[in-house]
């Protein structure tokens, strides 16, 4: 890949928020794209723009048979399928583990059996957890404090093990608070930016857990898509490694609301409630390793990304 069009690639979870944006980019770059999704959290409508240009396999990563069928003949696998959300995992740790650990192991086994060249795994910054040191560096201890990041850490470990014992190239990307078009604002477990954007657009109250001074390294979707594409073609030395994918900028929820008010030209109705269990107070990435080894550069900053996102969500009542 990396400018080499015509590769056969699989995107698991390709109807989800990140997956569908990645699928559109891969199709645009001229690759032959297969999507595996069970539509538990993804939406068919996310693929409307490319549905005639992709092969869709409907099924669950928890089935080895389905995973093997999807992987067959592929050069690169982008494993985006997951049961996302820290709060959801606190409510239902068993499903989080089944999808994120067993599902990942199934796709890894299928990729090994089909001799896939590169396996790119969607990991999470949440696995740094209780480690208070900022910025987050890949060499730091991971101290996950909720079932979701525990599952991502286990899946990362499997990726590293497959790289070591099966000589299969794997790359793990630790996403930091990805946002952008096609993120579902309606889900109870939805990420904060689509929830806030649609609330302000439709003049409904938005909810902040805690005082709003908690901060995140919000990362626009195009940066994450680019990181995936780069990871597919990076030199073999990256195999078995994990990389932070972010912007390297810390934004509080209160600042996020202020920026959305500026973009929308209207005031938000803010309601503060108790903090959520499993949430970390602050998150900030050091992306120097991804810069060095993946040639990653976050080209779209927080404010430009937020403007694009509000344009997508702010067209009227949600």
Helix residue ranges per DSSP H, the chain: 17-28, 64-71, 86-91, 93-97, 103-113, 147-165, 192-201, 221-233, 253-264, 288-294, 302-313
Whether 302 contacts 249, CB under 8 Å: yes
**148 a catalytic residue:** yes
How many angstroms separate the CA atoms of 147 and 121, rounded? 18
CB environment 140-172: b (16+ within 10 A), e (fewer) = eebebbbbbbbbbbbbbebbbebbeeeebbbbb
Which residues touch 271 (CB under 8 Å, ≥6 apart)? 205, 206, 207, 208
As a dihedral over the C-alpha atoms of residue 138, residue 141, residue 146, residue 152, rounded to 10 degrees, the angle is 40
Q: Quickly tell me which residue has 């954007």 as its tokens.
A: 197
CB-based burial label for 65 (10 Å; 0-12, 13-18, 19+): exposed
How many angstroms separate the CA atoms of 318 and 299, rounded? 29
Coil vs helix vs strand at 202: coil
Give φ, ψ of 205 to 5 degrees: -65, 145
For the beta carbon of residue 96, count every other beta carbon within 10 angstroms.
25
Helix count and strand count (H, E) for the chain: 11, 13
Out of 128, 148, 175, 313, which one is annotated catalytic? 148
Point out which residues pair with 133 in neighbouring strands: none
Q: Which sequence positions are flagged as catalytic?
A: 148
């Amino acid at each position: 890949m990396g400018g080499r069009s015509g590769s056969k690639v699989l995107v698991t979870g390709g109807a989800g928020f990140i997956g569908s944006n990645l699928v559109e980019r891969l199709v645009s770059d001229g690759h032959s794209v297969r999507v595996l999704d069970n539509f538990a959290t993804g939406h068919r409508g996310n693929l409307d723009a490319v549905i005639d240009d992709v092969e869709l396999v409907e099924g669950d990563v928890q089935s080895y048979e389905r995973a093997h069928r999807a992987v067959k003949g592929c050069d690169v696998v982008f494993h985006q399928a997951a049961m996302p959300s820290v709060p959801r995992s606190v409510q239902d740790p068993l499903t989080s583990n089944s999808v994120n650990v067993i599902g990942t192991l199934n796709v890894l086994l299928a990729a090994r059996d089909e001799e896939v060249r590169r396996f790119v795994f969607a990991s999470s910054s949440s696995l740094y957890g209780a480690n208070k040191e900022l910025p987050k560096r890949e060499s730091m201890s991971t101290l996950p404090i909720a079932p979701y990041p525990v599952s991502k850490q286990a899946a990362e470990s499997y990726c590293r093990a497959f790289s070591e014992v099966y000589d299969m190239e794997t790359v793990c990307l630790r996403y930091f608070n990805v946002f952008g078009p096609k993120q579902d604002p309606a889900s109870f477990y939805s990420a904060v930016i689509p929830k806030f954007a649609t609330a302000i657009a439709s003049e409904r109250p938005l909810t902040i857990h805690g005082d709003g001074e908690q901060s995140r390294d919000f990362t626009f979707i195009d940066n994450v898509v680019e990181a995936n594409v780069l990871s597919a073609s990076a030199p073999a030395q990256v195999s078995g490694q994990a990389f932070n994918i972010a912007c390297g900028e810390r934004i509080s929820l209160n600042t996020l609301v202020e920026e959305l008010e500026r973009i929308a030209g209207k005031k938000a109705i803010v309601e503060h409630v108790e903090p959520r269990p499993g949430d970390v107070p602050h998150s900030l990435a050091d992306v120097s390793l991804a810069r060095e080894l993946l040639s990653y550069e976050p080209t779209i900053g927080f404010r430009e990304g937020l403007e694009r996102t509000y344009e997508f969500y702010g067209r009227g009542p949600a």
